[in-house]
Amino acid sequence: MLAHLGQGQVEPAKPPAQLRKAGSTQIIAIGISTGGPDALRVVFSQLDADLKVPIVVVQHMPPGFTNEFAKSLDRICPLEVKEAEDGDAIQPGRILIAQGNKHLEVEKKSFSSVVRLSDTPLVSGHRPSADVLFASVAMAYQNNSLGVIMTGMGRDGAQQLGTIYKEGGMTLGQDEASSVVYGMPRVAHELGHVMEQVPLQKMARRICEIAKTSR
């Protein structure tokens, strides 16, 4: 049960029990919506050029816009950024952006990992859905994942970010002050699924620090 602290403030629920300790970060998953394009420009322009952990992103955006959006990010990011295509390899130094109107999931194999796109029904009111992405990342990578939930209306991603947490992965949420809409990260925080709230201007640094820490 959530305890109300005052107007607009809610005490987070008790975090879920973790099944295992956090391991080294092998994948970073980001879920983001309203205010996301500008926020991702800030984060991606500040990422370390030597970041070796692949990143997969669900940004709520209509079909037909994500290809150009990915290209615009690629121009300012030291890493490769591209719109995801079905079967694209998940590899170091690469950021894959979900296509508009396509769910994105990860598939981990013995020697390589790929993304899978699908037209399955909307989840949490969206396709692509951050909940779908986070659930697949938690299943495939368990405690070797980092989930990040950022500015956005509604609650997409909040529930399944908790699955990453339960599996032993790390989780970050954008803080209220720097969010255009403190919806998705607020719900995740109130559910107890966010380990640490981070301002937008410090998000890239925190992502890189976690990704480069040996555990």
pLDDT digits (tens, 9 = 90+) for 125-161: 999 999 999 999 999 999 999 999 999 999 999 999 9
pLDDT tens-place string over residues 14-56: 988 999 999 999 999 999 999 999 999 999 999 999 999 999 9
- Give the three-state DSSP class for 198: strand
Q: Which CATH number covers residue 156? A: 3.40.50.180
Predicted pLDDT of residue 31: 98
Q: How far apart are alpha carbons 82 and 90 in whole angstroms?
A: 11
Residue 122's alpha-carbon distances to 70, 118, 132, 157, in angstroms, are 22, 11, 9, 13
Predicted pLDDT of residue 10: 74
Q: Is residue 198 part of a domain?
A: yes
Q: Which of 183, 180, 196, 121 is nearest to 157 (CA)?
A: 183
* Overall domain count for the chain: 1
124 noted as active-site residue: no
* Backbone φ, ψ for residue 41 (5° rounding): -60, -40
Q: Among the listed ranges 5-9, 123-127, 193-197, which one has the minimum average pLDDT value?
A: 5-9
50 noted as active-site residue: no
- Choosing from 33, 145, 178, 179, the catalytic residue is 33
Q: Is residue 7 part of a domain?
A: no
Q: How far apart are alpha carbons 136 and 160 in whole angstroms?
A: 9
pLDDT tens-place string over residues 73-118: 999 999 999 999 999 999 999 999 999 999 999 999 888 899 999 9
- Choosing from 88, 131, 156, 175, the catalytic residue is 156
The size of the chain, in residues, is 215
Q: Is residue 5 part of a domain?
A: no
CB 212 within 8 A of CB 49: no
Residue 27's alpha-carbon distances to 14, 17, 33, 93, 184, in angstroms, are 26, 21, 20, 11, 21
Share of the chain above pLDDT 70, in %: 96
156 noted as active-site residue: yes
What sign does the CA torsion over 69, 60, 151, 199 have? negative
Q: Is residue 82 part of a domain?
A: yes
- Choosing from 60, 103, 189, 193, the catalytic residue is 60
Predicted pLDDT of residue 165: 98
Q: Which of 72, 66, 75, 133 is nearest to 106 (CA)?
A: 133
Q: Is residue 87 part of a domain?
A: yes
Q: Is residue 46 part of a domain?
A: yes
Predicted pLDDT of residue 4: 40
Model confidence pTM above 0.85: yes
- Domain of 152, in residue numbers: 24-212
